[in-house]
Amino acid sequence: MRKVIKDEKTVIVMDNARMHGNEVREFLEENGVEFVYLPPHSPDKSPAEGPWTVLKKRLYSNMYTDFETLT
């Protein structure tokens, strides 16, 4: 990231989901990336939650039973 964003402070805003692995977080912190954690159970604070909610609803409303229906 430093090669792409030179001389700029890099901040990543994320929730406390377990999928954000320690190894990746440690690597980024070692390379000067600052993390800001959202409070638990606060999707209203994350602008990415809106599009994910819409996408999930669309995916779940189209459950496919076999491969042929996907093509």
The token pair at 4 is 């792409």
What's the mean pLDDT in 5-11?
69
The token pair at 19 is 């999928």
Per-residue H/E/C for 12-45: EEECCCCCCCHHHHHHHHHCCEEEEECCCCCHHH
Q: Please report, for the chain, the start and end positions of each structural domain, with discontinuous segments joined by +.
A: 10-70
Whole-number pLDDT of residue 48: 74
What's the mean pLDDT in 8-36?
76
| Its pTM surpasses 0.85 | no
- Cβ atoms of 21 and 29 within 8 Å: the answer is no
What's the mean pLDDT in 23-44?
79
Tens-digit pLDDT profile for residues 49-69: 788 788 888 878 877 777 787
